[in-house]
Amino acid sequence: MSLLTVGTVAFDTIETPYGKAEMVVGGAALYASIAASHFTDQINLVSVVGDDFPQVELDYMEARGITLDGLQIKQGEKSFFWAGKYHDNMNQRDTLITDLNVLADFDPVLPESYKNSTYVMLGNLTPEVQMRVINQMETRPKLIVMDTMNFWMDIAMDSLKEVIKKIDVLTINDEEARQLSGEYSLVKAAKVIHEMGPKYLVIKKGEHGALLFHEGKMFFAPALPLAEVFDPTGAGDTFAGGFIGYLAQTDDISFENMKRAVIYGSAMASFCVEEFSIGRMKGLKKKDIDERLQQFVELAKFDLK
Amino acid sequence: MSLLTVGTVAFDTIETPYGKAEMVVGGAALYASIAASHFTDQINLVSVVGDDFPQVELDYMEARGITLDGLQIKQGEKSFFWAGKYHDNMNQRDTLITDLNVLADFDPVLPESYKNSTYVMLGNLTPEVQMRVINQMETRPKLIVMDTMNFWMDIAMDSLKEVIKKIDVLTINDEEARQLSGEYSLVKAAKVIHEMGPKYLVIKKGEHGALLFHEGKMFFAPALPLAEVFDPTGAGDTFAGGFIGYLAQTDDISFENMKRAVIYGSAMASFCVEEFSIGRMKGLKKKDIDERLQQFVELAKFDLK
């Protein structure tokens, strides 16, 4: 089924204990779309870049079935740029530079061909931009998944909550779930967040896995322990892209299938962190994904006899 | 099969955001033995208390099949006492008081009837005391499980490593695994620790679950997300007791059964935190445990079709 993705398409400069990558491609919509493209080839991307964004990367996206009719290319302007440095433990990072550039006055315009997309992935962006995307849809999508971050809770909680009212699945991390709900226990946080609108809540815990909450039911997906985590940038967006890409492919939003989607998202995220930028994602084959999924099965499988 | 448990039997005064409990019973051997007693009634406890330890609690332990022949009761002396206060997030705590009392010169003496115990649980204690227990065994136990903590890594790493050489399963938390191995990645840490001796490593991650490593294989057991965590004291010891108690009951140390044991340990720990001290453990019935185990199955179960 068709999948609309919205979010940043950007440049990142990243330093980790393993090395440094300068001006590599990144952004929530780029990571999510590329992850999703392993499962579906009807991806409608909405974003904005400057005229500095490499044509070769745009060609790569199109070759993977990502439609760029909704990508605004601003002549004479620069793409969004983020620079950050990870601490030794990789769980913390410092933002060194955030240059909004084209993102500062981004007004998403959906091409006609996008307005009936069945699945929608709202990547992390200002809540106002996320809302403008929802408002341009002609038919209510079958499933709207939304990612956001603590930054918007700090400065735009009211408009954030307006978007949250309209979506089906919220993906945030554990600290964000606590901030949004005011509850420390994730079980209680989930109840509060369900009452805000989303019937499904995915709490991403990075190296500690992910929790899916729905109508009092819980599912826990482990993260795959890795010998080397090279660069965590984009892991959350890649998770979201794998998650919704698998749902769009199977067109089944039952709880059982959403559990699978969380595992697929986790598997894609486990690849993302193995190299800088989309390095690992580029060479990825179906066989690699199937093997990785099997590792998740082995990791989590037990029977009580 | 028979199970020898060694560790503290003590008093705790605990303050959590939910309340305060003064001079309640605790200690590694007490928590582990009581958890194990739900699976086997051949438990040989080795520890020391003063004459202030309540007879009613000793009677309770005996009634649960815990043999106290190896419990030294020092007349005119006081039991080990610990006081601590948990932070709002329950993951951090401050130690307010540690009175070693009888523990200061504890020299474990194994009764003859203990010396051929099939399973041994070395609760957190000085490595020297743990070693003296191992050295008194007449036959090599089928399985020796050892718990320890960062404190001994800080002040007694050499003697700690001597004990680690002689055991089969080490249970520590993620930070301790990193400290012991010098590796941040838990996959690499497990390799280093296997080379120190233990064929099995259990990394306890508290609310983030537990990982079992063995011969290149990994298993992840989630923690059950709870609405209320009342008091985390003793959760690690209760995990260890449930783990080895289940192994002693089934007398099967295959990897598949050890995975089950990790789930049993996690289930017992999830009860422990619901009340102060052994409050929740006391009323626990087989039906409660079976229901809780089923919740773990529901939490972790998925199939890829």
Give the model confidence (pLDDT) of B217-260 as tens digits.
999 999 999 998 999 999 999 999 999 999 999 999 999 999 99
Please report the pLDDT score of residue B18 as a whole number: 87
Partner-chain contact A208 B209, CB within 8 Å: yes
pLDDT at residue A6 in the model: 98
β-strand A3-6 against A66-74: which pairing, if any?
Answer: unpaired
Contact B300, A302 (CB under 8 A): yes
pLDDT of residue A305: 78
Report chain B residues whose CB lies below 8 A from the CB of A209. 208-209, 220, 222
Of A184, A229, A304, the CB nearest to B89: A184
8-state DSSP, A224: P
| pTM of this structure | 0.95
Q: Find the CB nearest B187 among A217, A225, A263.
A: A225
Nearest to B246 by CA among B238, B258, B234, B254: B258
Q: Which of A185, A211, A225 lies at the smallest CB-CB distance from B226?
A: A185
User: Does A205 contact B208 at a Cβ distance shorter than 8 Å?
Assistant: yes
Residue of B nearest to A261 (CA): B304
Measured N-to-C along each axis, helices B157-164 and B127-136 cross at an angle, to the nearest 10 degrees, of: 30
- Domains detected in chain B: 3-300 (3.40.1190.20)
Q: How many CB pairs under 8 A join A and B?
A: 88
Instruction: Confirm if B122 and B133 have CB atoms less than 8 A apart.
Output: yes
Best interface-test mutation with B: which of A192, A217, A220, A296 has the largest number of B CBs within 10 A?
A220
Strand ranges across the sheet with B93-99: B19-26, B10-16, B80-86, B93-99
Tell me which chain B residues have a C-beta less than 8 angstroms from the C-beta of A208: 205, 208-209
In this predicted structure, what is the pLDDT of residue A125?
96
CA distance A245 to A1: 9
CA distance to partner chain A, nearest, from residue B54 (Å): 35
Answer yes or no: do B225 and A302 touch at CB < 8 A.
no
- Using a CB-CB cut-off of 8 Å, the residues of chain A touching B304 are 260, 263, 293, 297
How much is the pLDDT for A18?
87
Which residue type is seen at B213?
F
Contact flag A298-B217 (C-beta cutoff 8 Å):
yes
What does DSSP assign to residue A52? Answer: T
Tokens of B11: 């008093």
CA A57 to chain centre: 19
Inter-chain touch B300–A298, beta carbons under 8 Å = no
Q: Which of A187, A302, A303 is the best residue to mutate to test the B interface, defined by the most B CB atoms within 10 Å of its own CB?
A: A302
Cα dihedral A297→A194→A106→A31 (10° resolution): 0
Name every residue in B having a CB less than 8 A away from some CB of A: 88-90, 184-188, 205, 208-209, 211, 217-222, 225-229, 256, 259-260, 263, 293, 297-305
Q: Is B251 left (phi over 0), alpha (psi -120 to 50) or beta?
A: left
Kindly determine whether residue A218 and residue B259, on different chains, have CB atoms separated by under 8 Å: no
CB B219 to CB A299 under 8 A? yes
* Distance between A122 CA and the closest CA of chain B, angstroms: 26
Give me the torsion for CA of B249, B147, B30, B258, rounded to 10°.
Answer: -20
- Looking at the complex, report in whole angstroms how far the Cα of residue A185 sits from the nearest Cα belonging to chain B: 6
Nearest CA in chain A to B228: A185
pLDDT at A72: 98
Chain A residue with CA closest to B303: the answer is A260
Closest approach of A274 to chain B, Cα-based (Å): 13
pLDDT of residue B27: 98
Are the Cβ atoms of A187 and B225 closer than 8 angstroms? yes
Q: Tens of pLDDT along chain A (305 residues)?
A: 999 999 999 999 999 988 999 999 999 999 999 999 999 999 999 999 999 999 999 999 999 999 999 999 999 999 999 999 999 888 789 999 999 999 999 999 999 999 999 999 999 999 999 999 999 999 999 999 999 999 999 999 999 999 999 999 999 999 999 999 999 999 999 999 999 999 999 999 999 999 999 999 999 999 999 998 999 999 999 999 999 999 999 999 999 999 999 999 999 999 999 999 999 999 899 999 999 999 999 999 999 97
User: Contact B220/A88, CB-based, under 8 Å?
Assistant: no
Q: How many CB atoms lie within 10 A of CB A283?
A: 10
User: Rounded distance, CA B26 to CA B36, Å?
Assistant: 15
Cα gap A46→A66, rounded to integer Å: 10
Instruction: Using CB atoms, pick whichever of B88, B300, B305 lies closest to residue A220.
Output: B300
Which residues of chain B neighbour A187 with C-beta distances below 8 Å? 225-227
Low-confidence ranges of chain B (pLDDT < 50): none
Are B24 and B46 in contact by the 8 Å Cβ rule? The answer is: no
Q: Which three-class secondary structure string do you get for chain B?
A: CCEEEECCCEEEEEEECCEEEEEEEECHHHHHHHHHCCCCCCEEEEEEEECCCCHHHHHHHHHCCEEEEEEEEECCCCCEEEEEEECCCCCCEEEEEEECHHHHHCCCCCCHHHCCCCEEEECCCCHHHHHHHHHHCCCCCCEEEEECCHHHHHHCHHHHHHHHCCCCEEEEEHHHHHHHHCCCCHHHHHHHHHHHCCCEEEEECHHHCEEEEECCEEEEECCCCCCCCCCCCCHHHHHHHHHHHHHHHHCCCCHHHHHHHHHHHHHHHHHHCCCCCCHHHHCCCHHHHHHHHHHHHHHHCCCCC
What amino acid is encoded at B178 in this protein? R
Q: Cβ of A221 and B302 within 8 Å? A: yes
pLDDT at B91: 79
Contact A208/B211, CB-based, under 8 Å?
no
User: How far apart, in whole angstroms, are the C-alpha atoms of residue A247 and residue A252?
Assistant: 6
The Cα–Cα gap between A228 and B33 comes to 38
**Nearest Cβ partner of A228 from B185, B221, B226?**
B185
B88-114: pLDDT as tens digits: 888 789 999 999 999 999 999 999 999
Q: Is B92 exposed, middle or buried (0-12, 13-18, 19+ CB in 10 A)?
A: exposed
Question: Residue for token digits 């609760």?
Answer: B123
Helix (H, G, I), strand (E, B) or coil at A67: strand
Token digits of residue A42:
């009807």
- Within 8 A of B219 by CB-CB distance, chain A residues are 299-302
Please name the member of A217, A227, A263 whose beta carbon is closest to the beta carbon of B185. A227
